[in-house]
Each structure stands twice: as C-alpha cells, then as structure tokens.
C-alpha cells in the first residue's frame, strides 16, 4: 500500500522520469494489485497472511482486511470499503500522473 501511495505522489510530480526502473516497478505493483482485486476480489497478500495465521496461529486470525485490521490498533475505525476507495483513488492518480508526464515529455 505504501508503494502505491508514495508512487502516486512521485508519478504526479513527474519524478519517475529520472528513474524509469522505479516507474516500471511501480507499474508492476499497481497492475498486480488491480489483477489481484479483479481475480480474487481481495489482496492476495492479505489472503496469504490470513491463511498462514489460520494454519499456524488460529487465535490471531482476523476477518477484515489487513489495513483495516492494523489501523484499528492506531485508533482508526476504518472498514474495508474506506480502504478500497482510497486505494482506487491512489491508483487512479498515479496512473493519470504517469500518463500525463509521458504525454507531456513527448511534446
């Protein structure tokens, strides 16, 4: 999630032009995240963590998403829809920033 949020800011500011390898890595993470949500309707890393917890430490298993679960320890009452809306917004901003700066640099 941090990669998506920070990457969106970097893309919007046009800072990827100096580091094209980082831009490609960011796009791989974004595309992987999109595919994960389209195919499984959740984050594959969260599903993996939940399965491991259920298998090895069932008393630590949780029902909601990763970010919602851990943000509750910080006093934030988020549900998975809040996180999903934020994630979609950051992905959209990051992709738009990337596209904008590529088009701008071609001119």
Could you give the CA distance from residue 70 to residue 106 in angstroms, rounded to a whole number?
43
pTM: 0.73
Contacts of 12 (CB under 8 A, 6+ apart): 93, 94, 96, 97
Could you give the CA distance from residue 69 to residue 7 in angstroms, rounded to a whole number?
23
What are the pLDDT tens digits along the chain (107 aa)? 788 888 898 998 888 888 889 999 999 999 998 999 899 888 888 888 899 999 999 998 888 888 888 888 899 888 888 888 888 898 888 888 888 888 887 76
Could you give the CA distance from residue 107 to residue 103 in angstroms, rounded to a whole number?
7
Domains of the chain, by residue range, sit at 2-100
Q: Is 107 exposed, middle or buried (0-12, 13-18, 19+ CB in 10 A)?
A: exposed
């Amino acid at each position: 999630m941090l990669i998506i949020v920070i990457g969106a800011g970097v893309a919007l500011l046009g800072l990827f032009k100096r580091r094209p390898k980082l831009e490609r890595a960011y796009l791989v993470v974004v595309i992987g995240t999109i595919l994960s949500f389209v195919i499984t309707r959740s984050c594959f890393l969260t599903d993996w963590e939940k399965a491991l917890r259920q298998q090895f430490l069932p008393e630590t298993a949780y029902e909601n998403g990763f970010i919602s679960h851990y943000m509750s320890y910080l006093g934030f009452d988020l549900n998975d829809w809040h996180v999903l809306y934020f994630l979609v917004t950051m992905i959209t901003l990051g992709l738009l920033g990337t596209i904008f700066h590529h088009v701008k640099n071609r001119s």
